[in-house]
Structure 1
Amino acid sequence: MAKVKIIDVARAAGVSLGTVSNALNHPEKVRPETRRLIEETIRELGYTPNQSARMLAGGHNNMIGLVLPQLNHGFCLQIISGAQNEAQKHGYSLIFAVSGRDEDLEEQLLRHFMGTQLAGMLFQPIPRPAWTPRPNPTVPIVYLDAEGPDEGAFVTADNEAQGRLIAEHAASCGARRVAVIGCAHEGVLSRRVTGIRESLSTHPDIELEVLDAGEWDVSGDGFGLGQQLSRRDGAERPDFIIALSDVLATGAIAGIRAAGLSVPEDIRVAGCDGNPLAWSGAVSLTTCAPAGYEMGRKGVQLLVEMIEAEQEPQASHVRLGNRVQSPRTEDHPARRIETVRPFLLERASTRGAAATTSSAHRSPQVPETNLGAYL
């Protein structure tokens, strides 16, 4: 089957070639009724614009790429939603790919996206100790949930503030023995612990215990830790558990209930990371509000600023590797950081009566995330 060309669209719609080109590239220059006619003709003929040809002809690519490490966390789905909605407001489209936490695949995806001459990219790197921003990217790039030591554009969640917020809530609930569960030495989790310690340092009457155990995305680990803490003698048992992730928190609630205790009457439980995919437990969870949507939205805002700055005519330019950039100014600094601030979602797990279910006769189950319900 012969490929449909732009001239075929013009002939079928009874308009000039220039009018079709304007409808595709500068729709504001074409009357609405003419645009609708051309769009209907494009759909009927199955015409697909040649993006490479448009770029060679000096056209503007309105596509933004997004590379994520995974899709098994509500945070990543929120990033996509926030980025998509904000991109549309600015006249851009969004495409995304997932590395599956495979560093080799992550590198392949980055090379592919930059090689397709996208307008710009958002990139959430796989968490690793020695991560640094990519040197000399060929397109504007904004890093999400990461921060490098040198120049670059970054949007981050304030993980220390998340820890402080939950710890302050524990103190306001009258907690006297607080236990923190999760791999407290790892990345963003360690920063949440720093915030918790900082906040509770002003409450010397509150005992703080940090159990450096429990993978952040395994609710079964939370279940086991919840049971373990519940089985302690009353004088040693915590009255408030802060889980460093919501998945651990929902597991801990199930473990406490399996041990015969109640949430929040016997032990209050709170999460930290605002993950809606972990909110299907029997007791609604106190946690921080989800930060992913705002991170995606701010990421696109920052990226559009960078794209437009590169399109501005400048008297002189600076060459960085194989990419020519405009000189850095106070309006367009070499290092930009946007921070998403947290706020509290207070629910039944730390306040009010514990939830009841019609299936109380069944054995307690470890709650797992249900990705399909959110896709």
Structure 2
Amino acid sequence: MGAVPILTTTASVSASASASASAKGASGTAAATPAVVDPAARRQTIRGFGGMTHAAWIGDLTAAQRDTAFGTGEGRLGLSVLRLPVPENRADWSRDLATAKRAAELGATVFASPWNPPAHMVETFVHGSQTDARRLRHDMYGAYARHLNDFNGFLRNNGVNLYGISVQNEPDYAHDWTWWTPGELARFLRENAGSLNTRVIAPESFNYTKTLSDPILNDPAALANVDIIATHLYGTPFTNFPYPLFKQKGAGKELWMTEVYHPDSTSSADLWPQALDVAEHLHHAMVDAEFQAYVWWYIRRGYGLLREDGHLSKRGACMAHFARFVRPGHVRIEATATPAPNIHVSAYQGGSSIVILAVNKTPSPVNQQFTLKHSTASRVSSWLTDANRNVARQGTTGMSNGSFTVTLPARSVTTLVTA
């Protein structure tokens, strides 16, 4: 087994523990630059971490799996967001209802995304080499808005209040569903989205190239009818995560990442250390992109958060470090994001408590000092996932003047919670 995290107050740490990253402490672990956490430097408010259910394609979650996915106790994922499909046929609208109701009962935010409008609203056209491409008929925009409203009303009448509804899933990667051009999206948002009876989500592009979202942000009339700018992150490099135009023009809007699996859909979700890539991806999504929500693809899948047997996978454990402890309403606060190469740190505040996420992607343990500005906390608790443990409780220790040091085991993710 890997090294157990060793928590100490700063006063008891030897000088070598706060030296350069190449130095070695008494424990033989590398020492990183101290990570400073500043609660006064507030960033985005977190809506939550979630996943997708799609009973038509992979079957529904069982009752036990719903509780594992959306519960917050030991062995649970702690998801606080659920994404549903909007079936094109009304006869299918109840297909995901049981999971939606249970997720809502457990406090999750529920939203929905359509893949296709009803068939009578669609026409085919030539799109590049695709001769049977689908698009919403331009004379059906109003009818499509009523279709989305009807689905929202159906869920509401059955005990689920949608937080928002999307205009279209991946309109720029729609070989098997419905294409929308940037101009068509902007037109629908300007002329029809104002009639939708819940928050409007758009454009849910495939990999955040921003060619769909830029025109919305640059169109005041379209932007006025959007509540959540959303994207997917398939193949998106970390360098494309920041969005300066959203910072410039997205005031009052939310920014969500509504679908991804990472790093692939072909490997087992229990493969380690590959699963640790999920924790790094989450870090960059929170710190670089400043998303307020992060939503996985299928919750239960061989590459998913839950294995097919319904138990937490290694990828799921990495997600649980964020989802269980960074709850809706927490605010990300500034922290030294990279105190050493391949050490990733983010921090969040909820009430008087601060949650720190630390990802060590190096093959060696690292002594990491944390200093919390203006902190009156007296102790810190930790949870660990590494090759042999999944969100395992590691105990509690005291703090000295807002500072403490933890040994981050090789290839691990650690959650630290102050009190």
**TM-score, normalization by structure 2:** 0.25
Larger relative strand fraction: 2
Tell which structure's C-alpha radius of gyration is larger. 1
**TM-score, normalising length: structure 1:** 0.27
Choose between structure 1 and 2: higher helix proportion: 1
